[in-house]
Each structure stands twice: as structure tokens, then as C-alpha cells.
Structure 1
Amino acid sequence: MSARVAIVGRPNVGKSTLFNRLAGRRLAIVDDLPGVTRDRRETDGKLGPLRFTVIDTAGLEDLRDESLESRMRVQTEQAVDDADAVLMVIDGRVGVTPMDRHFADWLRRQTRPVVLVVNKCEGRAGASAAGEAYALGLGDPVAVSAEHGEGMLELYEALAPLLGEGALAPDEEEPALEGDDRPDQPISMAFIGRPNVGKSTLANRLIGSDRMLTGPEAGITRDAISVDWEYRGRRLKLVDTAGLRRRANVFEKLEKLATDDTDRAMRFAQVVVLVLDATQLFEKQDLTIARRVIDEGRALVIAISKWDLVEDRQAALQGFRDRLETSLQQVKGILMVPVSGETGDGVPRLMDAVFRTFEAWNRRVPTHSLNRWLKAMSERHPPPMVQGRRLRLRYLTQTKVRPPTFQLFLSRPDSLPDDYSRYIVNGLREDFAIPSVPIRLILRKADNPFADKGKKDD
């Protein structure tokens, strides 16, 4: 099992910047506004030869009530309990504050080893704060600049003895291949939707713990938070995302960053679960999100959340289905599952829908089967005449999966009507059991086999 390193500290000391530095890429949202991070976020981290799971946490607040900040503190405390080592970060430009002293006292009472990190020490900026930090009683402070990558060697020297030899990488690591589709790879599943539709509550129900912050406040989730877990022996990576509002209504920088993070999670997901609120109608923004998922070629499943609050369930479900069929005609058979994150009702059916949709998204059809099928389809409904000559459909082959993509070679691709393309796509979906996922049909001009021969004869 990978060693685990938690990054803690009061708000706005640069924890997320250090998290991104150790992760080797920008994952957590970073902004000058205090309190940006709310959920704890985990990813693979490295520091020299050290390999570990690095955990970003919310800024520590001295609160014990029912507020959002208090619930954030509980998440941070859980991260410390699960960690093998803790990096406590203070701001080298500000120096040691009373809140830093308060939480240093709390960390000394824990059983986890702590490295005191004085951040924002570009050049000599934090020299005095580093000297002052000895008073916190957490050992020798390490001066770093997470933003500029300074002090990483000193941080490695402080952290390596705490993690032990088990955290050291082997001499040669096998590089990951782009597009590696090995069967042991987890299925990446992203939850997206409007704010406050119950995404985080449903995610917590699926993984069986209060991993995501939840509450009555809209827009609690900001970062896209990923969690590795297993369901019925299959590995998955669940990504909970910030709520998406209409872009015209997004003005604040922080919300724009959160929206970009959600878009990125959607593009890299394999299956996207669009979460709707069962107590509201299928809104225009829901349809906009669904179309974006389809345009990206992702596999789409719809979860109707808060189903426990619906009285006339049959009428409500029929209303959602009717709206879906009329508004998303480009993809037939999208699976729609009523669920409740509060009670767990419908969760097994939702996961069945995810697996079925993922399999359809990976469907591969042999070329010989496609061309027998194409001949039968063109005989049943011949392509139209163009300038007195009938279009000839010569050859059909599948060029990729995820989503299923086919190339149709014909005499005049620019003259094939859209309705005939839809006829081909709908036939593929029906006859080869490819429901509920986007199908891409690319038209290509077939070469004239007699063209070169005629030139030679001349």
C-alpha cells in the first residue's frame, strides 16, 4: 500500500500549490482567496525517489459546530488519521500566527510524524519566519517556495526518514503508455450536474463513507475530487465535480476555475453520470450538459437523484423520459436510473447501468459483419439518386472504440443526406447492440478502381 502524506495548515498558506508541486501537475484549484479548498483531495505524488499518495486538505479553522467550516475540519482530521506523515504548512511572509500555534499544539498530540514547512520563502523572503517557526515545537522547519519549486531537496531529506524504504521507487519504473487499455485499469466515472442536485451525497453512498463534504449550502464542491474504489470486484475511479451553472451566469474567478476543473474531469472520464434533481423538471441546463458529454464522445448515464422525495414516481419518471427522448434524439436509449443518496435506493441499478453503458462504449464489430449488414441495409432502403446516378455505398469499417467510430466509403460523400446517415447510425445502434452511447460516422470517398487503369491505357 502506498505511503500517505497529508498537507495541513490554516487557510491561504499555499497548501494546494504544494500539492500541485508534489503531484507534478496542476490538479487543485489555486487562488489568493482564502478557503478555496474544501474537500480533501488525493493523488499520486513524488519527491525525488519517494513515491506516495499526497492529500490536500481544507484550511484548518478552530470551529466545532454545524457550520461548513467545521465539517471541513472533520475532513482534515480524517486525512491526518489516515496519513503516515503530515506536512504542516505556514506562510513565511506572514510569520507564525496564533492559529498556527493552536494547530501545532493539536498536531503534537497526534500520533503522526510532522514536518513543518515554511512556504513562500522565495529568496530570503521567509528567513525570519523560518527562525520563528522553531517555537512551534515541531522540529526543524523546512523553508520552501512551492510556487517556484525551491527547497524541494530539503523537504525530501526531512520526509524520507518518516516514510521509510517502502516509499522509494524502484531503480527503473515502467513508463505508462498513452491510451493504455489494459483490463486492470479502473473505469473512470465522473459525476456532473447543476449545483445542489445531490452529487456528493450520492458519491458518498456509493463509496460507503462521508468522503465528500455535503450540506444544504449550494456549491460546496469546488475541486474535482477523485476516489479509487471497487464495486463487485471491478476497480473504479469516481470523480465528484463542482456544480455547473450556465456560463452566462458565471462571473466570479473562483467559479470559473471550478467550472474549468469540471470540464476537464468530464473530458477525461470514460463514463459520465449526469445527476438530476428529481424534485425539479429536466431543465435546459441539464440538456446543455448532456449535449456537451455526447459531443465529447463520453458514455452517458443519467441518475435522477433525491428519488425519496418524489410522491408520484411513475408520472415523474415518465416526464423525464419524454423530455429526454424529444431533446436528445442524437443518442437513443440513454439509461436513466432513479436513485437516492440518502437511502441508497437504486444504487445497484445505477452501477449496472454504468457497466452496461461502458461495455457498449467499448463495442467492436468485425468488418465482415459490417459489410454484410451494409449490403442488406442499402437493399432495404437504397441511397438516393444524385444527378441521375444512385450513390454507391462501397465499404464500412470500424476504426475505433470509445466511442464506436465507423468509416463509410462511398462514391460521393458530400451528397449523402443527413437523414440517410441517421438511418445508418440508428441501424448500427439497433442491430449491433450499441445503445445509449455516441456513434460517430465518418464519410470517405471511395477510390475509383478504374481510374489508374484508364490513365495507363492512354
Structure 2
Amino acid sequence: MRPTVAIVGRPNVGKSTLFNRLVGKRLALVDDTPGVTRDRREGDARLGDLDFTVVDTAGLEEAEAESLTGRMRLQTEAAIRDADVVLFLVDSRVGVTPIDGHFAELVRRSDTPVILVANKAEGRAGEAGAYEAFGLGFGDPVPLSAEHGEGMADLYEALRPYIDAVAPPRDETEPEPDGEDETPEARAAKPLRIAVVGRPNAGKSTLVNALIGEDRMLTGPEAGITRDSVSVDWEWRGRRIKLFDTAGMRRKARVQDKLEKLSVADTLRAIRFAEVVVLCLDATTPFEKQDLQIADLVVREGRAIVIALDKWDLVEDRVKAWKDLRETCERLLPQIRGVPLVRLSGLTGEGLDELMKAVIKVEEVWTRRVSTAQVNRWLEHVLQRHPPPAVSGRRIKIRYATQAKTRPPTFAIFCSRPDALPDSYTRYLANDLRETFDLAGIPLRLNIRGGGENPYDKKKDG
């Protein structure tokens, strides 16, 4: 069992910077703007020989419970309740503020142990604030600089008793698995990475909450609540899942704010690291230009994709709408012909099982491998039925084909004059491949190459 450490404090005291330091990578967005973090964000942290889960939280602020800030505070309070120990951060350079004192009382009322951390303590400028932190009543503060990595040894000593109480130190003589010798069963046991993407206010966070069965993500009528990609570990019918909720992506021309640019970059990273991307569309206003651009981005990255038509409960004439949507999808997204379309409502829970079945199926297609013998039998049949056209009076001789890789399925076709093969014929080959081997709805790569003789041709001379 991994211990959980929650980082809390008022806005802009360096919580996300410390989170990134502990996980060893830049996962959380960091900016001088107060209140960048809104959702809880978890990461696998290691400090010396201490392994634990660290949780970055929204800055504690006073606000009405129904407001966005109030809902952010409720998320932070939930993180405090679930943690084994809390790191309460203050800014050494600013000193203890009335807001720090107010929320110190909130943290003190919980049963969770608290370690006081005086961040930004590098140099003399932070000394006074670090001493002032004694007045909060949490004992000796741990002075450190999350940005520069100073004071981490002191934080280790403060954390160790709480971490050891939950999970004893790992035996350093045990070799760590490097992944090189994993069995297929071990690889299959790894969590399936799913990124939920879409325009702002398309219902992404509501959908993630509905899937996992708890209000884990911050939701509301305001567009653009989610700012960075937040992952949640989950299980569906015995299959381990890592869900990524992402920031809404607007048209590039509208993205001017520095923080929004960081959010979009974080969403792009989530897409690149995902195996399946769920494109969430508002069923009442589907297939807008930005929806198509996001879909095209996912295809260019080579990810498997499922289109979720969210807010289906708001659609009136469902029979007509469903027929129109399928026709529109086939017309506007020919590059992923046959892509799964799922009608659902994150609010009511309708269609969630159908979504996950589509995700599992499309991931299987995305990882499918076709034997070279099967590919060449297909090629022989295709060439007999529809040989490549002559270009400048000369025939193009296609020799053989093979599947070069999976994720997504990528096929190499070797011919005498690859540069002369018309794009229309390449599309014909790709479409026939999809139909023959049931590769509908995923990106498919076709590489036309020049090359020697077919190594699988048994009729060639020995």
C-alpha cells in the first residue's frame, strides 16, 4: 500500500513546484498566476528510499461553497481527508498571512498529521518568514526551496516516520524491474491509458466522474474549469485503466493567454502518451470545426479514437439525429472511416458501458498484427482485381507488402516506382486493407517504398 501525501496551502506558495520536484518531472502546470491548479492531481513520488503518492491541490481560499473557488476548496478538503500526511506550505518570503492562519485551523480540525513547510526559503529573504511560521502551531517548519531543490533532506527526515508507518522501507537489495524482460501477461496487466479530450464545456470532467463513480473532477457551468491534464487510476471489469481528464481545446487563434497555452500543451502531451483517445462532443452542437481539428490531431498522432456524443439526454429527435450524425461523421472524417460513435450522457450515466466496450475494442484493433502471408495474399488479390495504372506509359510493379508495426497498424508496400504511384491508388489500397482485415475506425499508415525482390516469393531462383 502506497502512502499518500497531500500538498496544501493558499494560492501561489509553490505547491505545484514541490509536486513536480517530488515526482521528478514537470507534470503540474506552474505559473506566477495564483490559482493555476484547480483539480487534485496525483503522481508517483520518490524521496530517497521513500516511495509514496503525492497529491497537488488547489489553493485554499475563502468563498461560497457553490462558487468555483468554493468547489475547488471542497476538492482540497477531500484530499486532506484521504491523505496519510499533509504538507502545509507557506511562503517564507511573504510570511504568515491571515489566510494561512485561517486554513491552518481547517487543516488542524482534520485527523491527518501535518508537516509545516516553509517554501521559498533560499537565501536570507526567507529566514524571517520561516521563523514566523512557528506561530501556526504545527511545530518546527521545514525550510526548503522547491524550485532549487534545497532542503529536501530535511523534508525526507520529516516525512519518513509517516511513510514508514504505512509502508515499511523497500529492501534496497531487491532488483527493480526494468521492463525489458516482462512477459506478455505482465505487459497486458499494465493500465490502459485513455485521454478524454474535446472543446471547452463539452462534458469531459462530468464524463470522467461518471465513469469512476465519484466527484473526482471539478465540474460546473463555467467553460474551461480544467486547466491541466489530471490522471485517475480506475478499473473496469478487471481491466486496469488510467484516465486523463484534459483542458478544453479552443481554436488556435483564440488561445492568447499564456496559461491557456500551457493548458493546451499539457493536453497535447496527454494525447501523445495515451493509447485510446475519447473525443467528447456536445451532441447538441456536434462536429464543429474545432471538433474536426482535434480529431485530425489525434489521427496525426496515430492514437486509437472513440467519439463520445455526450449530452445525448438533451437531444429531442434521437432517431433522426443519430442517422444524421453517422452520415456527417463518415463525410467529415474519412481518414478514420468506421470510427466508433457512442451516444451517452455523463450526467445521467446513459451509455457508459457502451463507451468502455468501444474503447476496449478499438484498442484491440489498434494493436492488431496481420501476418506477412495474409498481407501478400491480400495484395495478390487486389492486384488481380485492380492493378496500378500506367504512369507515362510505364507500368508500376508492386512486389510485396508486410505489416511493419502496430499502434497504429503500419504497412510497407514495396514497388518499382514508389514516387510515381498515384495518391488515389494508395487510398484505394488503404481502404481495401481496412475492409479486408477489419481495421475500421483507427489511423492506418501505408508506406510506399522502393525495394528489391519479394523475399517471400517461393518461385524465385535459389
TM-score above 0.5 = yes
Q: Tell me which residue corresponds to 2:459.
A: none
Q: Return closer, same or farther for 1:146/1:438 CA change in 2, 3 Å cut-off.
A: same
2: distance between equivalents of 1:217 and 1:359? 36
Give the letter aligned to residue 79 of structure 1: A
Per-residue deviation, 1:448: 5.9
* Counterpart contact for 1:18–1:147, Cα < 8 Å: yes
Give the letter aligned to residue 137 of structure 1: G
Q: Tell me which residue corresponds to 1:164.
A: 164
Once the two structures are superposed, residues 98-149 of structure 1 have per-residue CA deviations (whole angstroms, 9 ceiling, x without a partner) of 1111111222221111110111111222111111111111011001110111
Q: Return closer, same or farther for 1:388/1:403 CA change in 2, 3 Å cut-off.
A: same
Q: Tell me which residue corresponds to 1:255.
A: 260
* Counterpart contact for 1:9–1:89, Cα < 8 Å: yes
TM-score (norm 1): 0.95
Give the letter aligned to residue 444 of structure 2: I
* Counterpart contact for 1:52–1:167, Cα < 8 Å: no
Q: Secondary structure at the match of 1:274?
A: strand
* Counterpart contact for 1:116–1:139, Cα < 8 Å: yes
Correspondence 1:298 to 2:299: no
Per-residue deviation, 1:178: 12
Once the two structures are superposed, residues 192-247 of structure 1 have per-residue CA deviations (whole angstroms, 9 ceiling, x without a partner) of 00000100001100000000000011100001010010001101110000000001
Q: Tell me which residue corresponds to 1:17.
A: 17
Quick check: 359-368 or 377-386, which moved more?
377-386
Give the letter aligned to residue 74 of structure 1: L
Q: Return closer, same or farther for 1:232/1:340 CA change in 2, 3 Å cut-off.
A: same
Q: Tell me which residue corresponds to 2:369.
A: 364
1: distance between equivalents of 2:391 and 2:181? 44
Q: Tell me which residue corresponds to 2:433.
A: 428
Give the letter aligned to residue 397 of structure 1: T
1: distance between equivalents of 2:180 and 2:71? 39
Matches for 1:44-193 after TM superposition, within 5 Å = 44-164=44-164, 166=167, 168-171=169-172, 172-176=175-179, 182-193=187-198
Give the letter aligned to residue 199 of structure 2: R
Give the letter aligned to residue 280 of structure 1: T
* Counterpart contact for 1:2–1:167, Cα < 8 Å: no
Structure 2 alignment gaps of length 5 or more = 455-462
* Counterpart contact for 1:192–1:242, Cα < 8 Å: yes
Per-residue deviation, 1:281: 3.6
Quick check: 106-115 or 139-148, which moved more?
106-115
Q: Tell me which residue corresponds to 1:405.
A: 410
Correspondence 1:395 to 2:396: no
2: distance between equivalents of 1:72 and 1:108? 19
The list of structure 1 runs, each at least 4 consecutive aligned residues, that deviate by more than 3 angstroms after superposition, is: 176-181
* Counterpart contact for 2:399–2:453, Cα < 8 Å: no
2: distance between equivalents of 1:87 and 1:68? 24
Q: Tell me which residue corresponds to 2:354.
A: 349
Per-residue deviation, 1:280: 1.0
Give the letter aligned to residue 316 of structure 1: A
2: distance between equivalents of 1:256 and 1:387? 49
Per-residue deviation, 1:177: 5.2
Per-residue deviation, 1:168: 2.8
Q: Tell me which residue corresponds to 1:454.
A: none
Per-residue deviation, 1:383: 1.1
Q: Secondary structure at the match of 1:391?
A: coil
Q: Secondary structure at the match of 2:358?
A: helix
* Counterpart contact for 2:336–2:443, Cα < 8 Å: yes
Q: Return closer, same or farther for 1:192/1:386 CA change in 2, 3 Å cut-off.
A: same
2: distance between equivalents of 1:324 and 1:74? 39
Once the two structures are superposed, residues 239-286 of structure 1 have per-residue CA deviations (whole angstroms, 9 ceiling, x without a partner) of 000000001001111111101111111111110000001111420110
| Count of residue pairs brought into register by the alignment | 449
User: RMSD in angstroms over aligned alpha carbons?
Assistant: 1.6
Once the two structures are superposed, residues 147-181 of structure 1 have per-residue CA deviations (whole angstroms, 9 ceiling, x without a partner) of 11110000000001111162534313223459997
* Counterpart contact for 1:38–1:220, Cα < 8 Å: yes
2: distance between equivalents of 1:311 and 1:177? 53
Matches for 1:212-291 after TM superposition, within 5 Å = 212-291=217-296
Percent identity of the aligned residues? 60
Q: Secondary structure at the match of 2:334?
A: coil
Q: Tell me which residue corresponds to 1:455.
A: none
Correspondence 1:447 to 2:452: yes
Q: Return closer, same or farther for 1:170/1:11 CA change in 2, 3 Å cut-off.
A: same
* Counterpart contact for 2:194–2:242, Cα < 8 Å: yes
* Counterpart contact for 1:361–1:404, Cα < 8 Å: yes
Q: Secondary structure at the match of 1:330?
A: helix
TM-score (norm 2): 0.95
